[in-house]
Amino acid sequence: MFTRIDHIGIACRNLDEAIRFYRETYGFEVTHEEVNEEQGVREAMLRINGTDDGGASYLQLLEPIRDDSPVAKFLERHGEGVHHIAFGTADVAEAAATVRERGVRVLYETPRNGSMGSLITFLHPKDCGGVLTELVQARTDGAPSAE
């Protein structure tokens, strides 16, 4: 059902400073930047490695663009750090339905737009051992995005 670690989402107060840290300290480069109005974030994807399902694993750096976004609330409560983890799947709607049947609350009725044209949903962290867990269907995994 899940074929890769798609990304690790990291909440930061200043995206440009976070990008600079990851570039200058580790040599990681930004693959993609975008604003996701629905999620209330400005974000950068840093590709770390390819995966044997034909995809890749990324770090996703997230800066809130408004005070009521989930990432802004996370920063208020916890400070900077790991916000969520994401698994890649070929069919996010099907994976979400399966996981829901197994007793985990899925946060969206239907998948929404994620990074780089992906389709995403989130699972309730209280049902996942405290881990906010995202499911990602990359644009290249098959079906078109919801854009």
- Closer residue to a copy of itself, CB minimum distance, 66 or 78: 78
Considering only residues 16, 26, 37, 67, which one is a binding residue for a copy of itself as defined by CB under 8 A? Answer: 26
Alpha carbons within 13 angstroms on the beta-carbon side of residue 14 total 4
Residue with tokens 């809130």: 64
37 is catalytic: no
Three-state SS at 138: coil
134 is catalytic: yes
Three-state SS at 104: coil
The count of chain residues that interact with a copy of itself, using the rule CB under 8 A, is 40
The candidate with the shortest Cα–Cα distance to 31, out of 138, 144, 147, is: 138
Q: Does residue number 42 form part of the binding site for a copy of itself (CB under 8 A)?
A: no
Q: What are phi and psi of 16, to 5 degrees?
A: -65, -40
Please enumerate in sequence order all residues whose Cβ is within 8 A of that of 22, keeping only pairs 6 or more positions apart, or say none. 28, 46, 59, 61
60 is catalytic: yes
Torsion of CA 134, 27, 116, 55, to 10 degrees: -70
Q: Does residue number 85 form part of the binding site for a copy of itself (CB under 8 A)?
A: yes
The one catalytic residue in 39, 63, 83, 134 is 134
Region of 36-44, 98-106, 108-116, 137-145 interacting with a copy of itself (CB under 8 A): 98-106
Q: Does residue number 109 form part of the binding site for a copy of itself (CB under 8 A)?
A: no
The residues carrying an active-site annotation are 7, 43, 60, 84, 134
The residue ranges that bind a copy of itself (CB under 8 A) are: 1-5, 8, 10-12, 18, 21, 24-28, 48-53, 57, 59, 78-82, 85, 87, 99, 102-104, 125, 128-131
